[in-house]
Amino acid sequence: MRNETRTLFLDPDLQVEAYRFKGIMQKFPNHFHDYYVVGFIEKGQRCLLCKGQEYIINPGDLVLFNPHDTHSCEQIDGKALDYRCINITPDVMMKAVKELTGAENLPYFTQNVLYRHELTSSLKELHIYILQKENTLKKEELFLYLLEELIRTYSDVAFLENAPEPSDEVKAVCDYLEAYYTENITLDDLSRLTGWSKYHLLRSFTKQKGISPYSYLETVRINHAKKLLEQGVKPIETAFQTGFSDQSHLTKFFKRQVGLTPRQYMKIFECDRQEIKE
């Protein structure tokens, strides 16, 4: 019997559905959805028929369906399908577009298949964050950045470029992140602080600081973690004292920024602490 996995999770923060199909051979007849679908194939090859046009889609290809785009698909290589997607209702999409453009419009995507597209990796990262119930701020950043690129490049929605903003609001965000780094901070928190939309906040902050608010927050947390580890605080306790969800979360970001695991970093200072005690 074939080992099939079908996973569905409704993200309570983004209000989107995340689907994952693994190991399925099912043929999907002609149908449509009343929501947007952004998905990609991880394994297998499919023949997709969308609005009368035929596509051969492979791993790494991104698919975009507007509400009521009729489509069907079936496996053509004899191998099982692994597939991930997010489903976005029109009201959630309209809210996102308002964040991005300031206007209440629903986009119409003019291309249904984006072959071997670089945004596939961004969608996969977002999808994993959703299924693993990861940090809200990071998910929101990934979601808005993904939609911005898709809507800006592949839809009929126009963007108006904003003039450069003074840095007072950005400084306020930095101060807030540094003061409340142990808490679960969201883009809504930062948006209320500045009076800016979440999208405008992301764009302005990243442009002025060179990194996103989430990356800034993680850097603040890592800097505080280094001080605790230098004092001999164990990694698991350091993780909880600096806002990380667990020790593995700390280790992942610590090694990426510092080049060492928290335990390796802590051992560097053990000799100095012993000498002080003596």
Q: What is the pLDDT of residues 85-131, one digit of tens each?
A: 999 999 999 998 888 888 888 999 999 999 999 999 999 999 999 99
Same domain, 22 and 44: yes
Do 206 and 219 belong together in one domain?
no
Per the structure, the count of domains in the chain is: 3
Q: Quick one: 182 and 58 in the same domain?
A: no
The mean predicted confidence, pLDDT, of the chain is 87
pLDDT of 62 over the 80 cut: yes
Across residues 23-52, what is the average pLDDT? 91
**Ramachandran angles phi, psi of 112, nearest 5°:** -95, -20
> Are 12 and 71 found together in one domain?
yes
- Identify the CATH number of the domain in which residue 98 sits: 2.60.120.10
pLDDT of 163 reads 47
Enclosing domain of residue 241: 215-277
The answer to whether residues 252 and 262 touch, using CB atoms and an 8 Å cutoff, is no
Tens of pLDDT along 151-174?
999 998 877 655 445 578 999 999
Residues in contact with 182: Cβ distance below 8 Å, sequence separation at least 6, in sequence order: 221, 241, 242, 243
Q: Do 84 and 176 sit in the same domain of this protein?
A: no
Clarify whether residues 176 and 269 are in a common domain. Answer: no
| Per-residue confidence (pLDDT) for residue 156, from 0 to 100 | 87
CATH number of the domain within which 239 lies: 1.10.10.60
Q: Answer whether residue 132 shows pLDDT above 90.
A: no
Q: Do 22 and 141 sit in the same domain of this protein? A: yes
In a domain, 160, yes or no: no
Q: Which whole number is the average pLDDT over 68-90? A: 91
Instruction: Evaluate whether 130 touches 139 at the Cβ level (below 8 Å).
Output: yes
Confidence grade of residue 276 (pLDDT, cut at 50, 70, 90)? very low
Q: Is residue 159 a part of any domain in this protein? A: no
